[in-house]
Structure formats: C-alpha cells, structure tokens
Amino acid sequence: MIIWRINEADVIHQEFDREVVVINLASGSYFNLPGVAGEIWRWLTAGGASAGDLALQAVRSFDVTPARAQADMEAFLGQLQARSLIVDASLAGQSDGAPRPEAEMSPVVPRAPYESPRLQAYNELQELFLIDPVHDVDPEVGWPQVAVPHTAPRPTTPTRAVATDARVLESVRRPAAADVITAWLPELAIAVNRERGVFCVLSGPAVAAWRLLQEGPVRLHGDAVKESLVECGLVESAPEAAVDAPEITAPGTAKVDRSIEEQIRPWSPRVRPARSAAGAQARQFCERLDLWFDAVAGADAVDSRHRIAGQSVTVRTIAGQPSGALRAAIAHSASSIGADQPDLVIRAFSGNAANASPIVANLLLMLKTNWEAACGPRGEVIDLHTDRTSAIFTAGPDVLSVVDPEAGRGWLVKLDDRPYPYWEIGSPFRFLLHEYFASKGLQFVHGAAVGDETGAVLLAGPGGSGKSTTALVCAAAGLRYCGDDYCLADSRTRSIHSLYGTAKLLGHGDFARLPELRGLSANSDGFEHGGEGKGVFMVNEVWPGRVVPSMPLRAIVVPRIDVLGSTRWEPCPAGEALAALVPSTVGQLPGASQEDARRLEQLVASLPSFHLFVGSDIAGIPTAVRDLIAACG
C-alpha cells in the first residue's frame, strides 16, 4: 500500500470556492481540480493517504459506491503522480507511518452528489513559468544559494587525498586552454586551475610528471593521480600519444582542494584573454580618462601623497565624492617625501559615463550593460588588456580599474555615485597596486603581518583560519601591524610592507575579543550600520601609531584554530606555507601570473615556516608570536 503525499518541494496550491488550483513549478504546468477532485486534494493536504483511505473518505462524503470510489481514486492518484503533483511518502523520505487523515466515524449526511474526479491540466504557459528563476531555489537551503560554477563538477567534499596505484598506465596531456598557475618547491608543486577555482597539491613523482606535462604528453602510472589531475581540469587523456611520450613509473600523490573555490572561481565562463600589443586605442583611452577626470574635478581635485614600499604614490580624488573614503585605508602611509616626482599617480573618481568622451563612453556603456561580452573571466577588460595596460571591471559596484605600470599611472572610476562597498574601503586600489608593484618585483600577498621591534611574521591562510583574529589580537596587545588582508612582500630583502592599515570584522561577536573596535567601523554597508557587509576599521584610529610601513620578515606562519588545545607553534613543511599563500593570492588577484607564483616560491624558500595553533587562550597569542619571532631572530 502506497501512502501518497503532496510534492511540496515543487508544487504550490490554493483552494478557491471548492476548486483547487495547483502549479508545478518544476514543469511549468498548472492544474484546476474542480469539485470532487478538489476535495480529494484537500484530504491529501492533511497528511499522507493511500487510495483506500481516500476511497473510504469518498464513500462517507459522496453518493458513490465503494467499488467505483476505489477505482476512481486509483485512476486519479495515477494522474496526479504522472504529473509529479504527489509523491510516494516512503520514497520522499517520510516513513510509512506518516500522519493519515482520520477516517470519520459516521457518513456525512446527506451525502453530496458524486462525479469522477477530473484533473484539468494546462501547459500553454510552461515557458513563462520556466524562465522564472524561482525553481533554482531549494526551499531547504533558502536564498541566496551559491551558484555551481559552469565548468566544475559539484564538489562532494572540500578536499580529497588519494594515493597512487601504479598498475595503470595511461597517456595524458595538459589541455591547451586551461588557465593554470603552478608554484614549485623541490618536492612539491601546487597547480591552481583558475578556470575551475580548484587547486591540486602534487608530491613525489607526481611533481616530475606535472613538470614534464608542461612540455607535452606523459605516460602516467597510477590512475588515482590521473583522476585527481583530470578532476582539476589539469590534464586530459591523450591515447594517440601513448608510444613516444616520457613515462613516470613511481607513485606519488595528488590532493584536490576545493576549499577556496568560492573566492577564486571565475565570474563568467569566458577564457582569460591574452595580452595584445598596446595600440592607439589603449593609449587614447588613458588620455581621455585624464581629461574626463579634469572635467569632472574642475577646481575640486584633492591630492594625498603616500610612501608605500619605498615608492611615492599620489592619490587624486575629487572633493565631495565617495572616492575620498578610499584614502582612509592608506592614511597611515601619508608622506610628503617625493611629492614633486610621484612614482605612481592614481586618479579615483565617480563619473556619469554619458559625459565622457566617446571612446571612453562607448566602452563604459558596454561594461554597464554587458560586461561579460567585454571582459575575461574575472572582469579583465579585453580592449585594455595589453602589454602596457591592464584593466578590470567589477560589475555590481561598477568600478573600473585601469593601470599603466610603466608610466606610473592608474585610474579607479566608479560609474555611479553610490558609496564604495566594504571590500574597496578596506583594500582600495588592489588591482592597480598589485600590477604596479609586480613591475617593481614586489609581491602582493594575501595574508596578515604583525611583529615587534625586531621583526615580523606573515600570517597566511584562508578566511576562518585564524589569520585576522591573530593579527588583531596582536595589534591590541601592542604589537606592530602591517595589515590583515593584503601586504607587500619582498623576498630579496626579506621584508614586509604595509598596504592597508585596515582590519575587517565579520559581526558583533568579534567585539567580545576586541571591544576597543566597537562603534568605529568606517563603512556604511557593514554590520555595525545595519548592512550585511563586514565592518572595516582603521587600526591607527583605534591604536594610534600601531600600523608601521615596513618590517623585516622572520617567518611565514600558517594559523590553525584549535579551540581544545593551548596556543602553541611548531615548524611545518614549506609546502604548507606555499599552499596557504599561492592559491588564494593568485586566485583573487585578476592580474596574477606565473611571475606571482615564482616570487611566492622565493619568499617561502627564503623563510622558515610554522604552524600556529590558536587555542582558546586568546591572551597567549601575542606571547606566542613574540616568542616565535625571537626564536627566528
């Protein structure tokens, strides 16, 4: 006996004057259930019911024989099931003992006239229902539900480690199109596939295999390694190349990691554009941006001068515009040195694209209406992606960043007059500064840095690893602070430079540890002002003088939350530091290239690496960090 119940996941329904209208959102069909049919539907809504239950109910309510009622119920339930309006309660995860309508003890008097239940089905508006995006929303998960990226299969677990199986030999090659950056250590390689937001940590002979794969097909023993590489989109089978390809015989390991997929996956399914030779168009575009800035600014241009990693940077904004708020994050680096000859000038302003010159206006309009057509996977603006200039467009906030590192010029243009979102307030000019400092051999790192008068540690790891907490608790305890999200590292001099004197907190709960910050967030879209964003805090406003421009770097530290243990540190393999730095840095910076991976390799190779286990004794963190720095001095 099957107990049926309404397929609530896909169906919405309502009763109107003894008729019931039912809509199947998954198929886009709708139905009318008049009279007896509507009554049966009502009984089904009370819980689960079998054909027999419903026939019994029908005989008590309507003028119908038991035999006809039973036959009609079975036929009608069949129709409902065929259209997925009802489901077998036992298959739908509900036990057989689902609540069933209480059979009424005495017949309804007088019994109503009976007609066989009819289901009127309508399909003519299916297309209209189906273009409605509502069916994507899982009622269990609710909104917003994060999209599954185009190319990647749905991850089942965040990470998966596999050992190799040496029995299988197969030829594979690296697909030409894959957007991959690899960082190497002697015994380890980290290959980041930015097309899929996934990375693979290779060790043992798998490293040599991956190195050979840069040149051409490889014959690979061990189907587990191959499977991992295929899963990451790093290789594909190449059966035709089996004969003369080099062969890797010993096993190794390949560990797939999807843990930061949300941060590094593409925004659109485009292929990353190749850089073209800078033509007149890119040059003219930059010139017109300057003219446009001058036209918008009139006499209201405001300059602030900064010294960042030894370079003099001038930020030019317009009085009264939201871009003024971007200066707070770099206020700690304000300096009058080098004011006459800035190395880099950034013009940051808001403008209505309609008022720009046609060459600028055309591109901006394209970006506003259809950025995917004009940009690469992370908003790289194809027309400005040249050997001289780079540009990205962030749709949503509608911010265009353009940089010409060689000329020392950058532009940040907001195409509306709304305020900047918290991530721009907290880490402004990220794209420009990354490209500019890369041209000077300095490396943007996704990490925090704190230290004392003798040196500093670089804290690396994804959000939630304890990186920001550690940095802020150290700042609160009097340690020096270089930033909690992005810093500039120089492996040649083993030093760390501050970019942003900001800190970000997720919510009110963070004030328990850091009460000094309460009420001081600088951004209007943060949780302190009723928004949904993080709160951005200017560390020097909370603790004056705490943010320093540069510190000697002593170690790379990978924090791990360990609430049950005590706060302690211990050496860790360099590969752990590399894995904590490379994927999140090259994945989040659209302008990152193989060069970034190379500079990060050098940084990791030049410093010792440690795990810092962050325990429940928060007060022990600054002491542990000081001890660690002293041990490395």
Partner 1 sequence: MRVSIVIPALNAAPFISDAIDSCLAQTAGTFAFDLEILVVDNGSTDGTADLVRRRYGAKVVLLAEPEPGIAHARNTGIAQVTGDTLALLDADDLWLPGKLALQTAVLAERPEVDLVFCHGVEFADPPGLAPCRMEPRPFLSSSALCARRSAMDKAGPFPPFRSGEFIAWYGLATARRLTTHVVPETLVRRRVHATNSTRNRALLADYPAAMRWLIERRRELGLETEPSR
Side-chain half-sphere CA neighbours of 298 within 13 A: 5
Identity of the residue, 15 or 165, whose beta carbon is nearer to partner 1 in the bound complex: 15
DSSP string, 503-530: EEE-SGGGGGT-GGGTT----TTBGGGT
Identity of the residue, 125 or 161, whose beta carbon is nearer to partner 1 in the bound complex: 125
DSSP symbol at 46: T
In whole angstroms, how close is the CB of 364 to partner 1 at the nearest point?
10
Identity of the residue, 16 or 453, whose beta carbon is nearer to partner 1 in the bound complex: 16
In whole angstroms, how close is the CB of 298 to partner 1 at the nearest point?
19
> What end-to-end distance do the CA atoms of the chain give, in Å?
77
Identity of the residue, 189 or 325, whose beta carbon is nearer to partner 1 in the bound complex: 325
**Other CB atoms within 10 A of residue 299 CB:** 5
Identity of the residue, 72 or 227, whose beta carbon is nearer to partner 1 in the bound complex: 72
Identity of the residue, 32 or 276, whose beta carbon is nearer to partner 1 in the bound complex: 32
In whole angstroms, how close is the CB of 35 to partner 1 at the nearest point?
6
DSSP string, 271-324: PPPPPBPP-HHHHHHHHHHHHHHHHHHTT-EEEEEEEETTEEEEEEEETTSGGG
DSSP symbol at 3: P
In whole angstroms, how close is the CB of 276 to partner 1 at the nearest point?
24
> 């860790």: which residue's tokens?
572
In whole angstroms, how close is the CB of 365 to partner 1 at the nearest point?
6
Cα 297 to Cα 261: distance, rounded to the nearest angstrom: 41
Phi, psi of 507 (to 5 degrees): -170, 180
**Other CB atoms within 10 A of residue 23 CB:** 19
Cα 571 to Cα 631: distance, rounded to the nearest angstrom: 11
**Other CB atoms within 10 A of residue 391 CB:** 31
Identity of the residue, 117 or 622, whose beta carbon is nearer to partner 1 in the bound complex: 117
In whole angstroms, how close is the CB of 588 to partner 1 at the nearest point?
12
Bridge partners of 2?
none
164 vs 192, 202, 256, CA distance in Å?
Answer: 20, 11, 13
In whole angstroms, how close is the CB of 481 to partner 1 at the nearest point?
29
DSSP symbol at 383: G
In whole angstroms, how close is the CB of 428 to partner 1 at the nearest point?
17
Q: Where are the alpha helices (DSSP H) in 133-172?
A: none
Identity of the residue, 33 or 536, whose beta carbon is nearer to partner 1 in the bound complex: 33
Binding site for partner 1 (CB under 8 A): 12-14, 16, 18-19, 21-23, 25, 30, 32, 34-35, 115, 122, 124-125, 127-129, 131-134, 136-137, 139, 143-148, 150, 262, 265-269, 352-354, 365, 368-370, 372, 379, 394-397, 416, 418
In whole angstroms, how close is the CB of 286 to partner 1 at the nearest point?
24
Identity of the residue, 533 or 549, whose beta carbon is nearer to partner 1 in the bound complex: 533
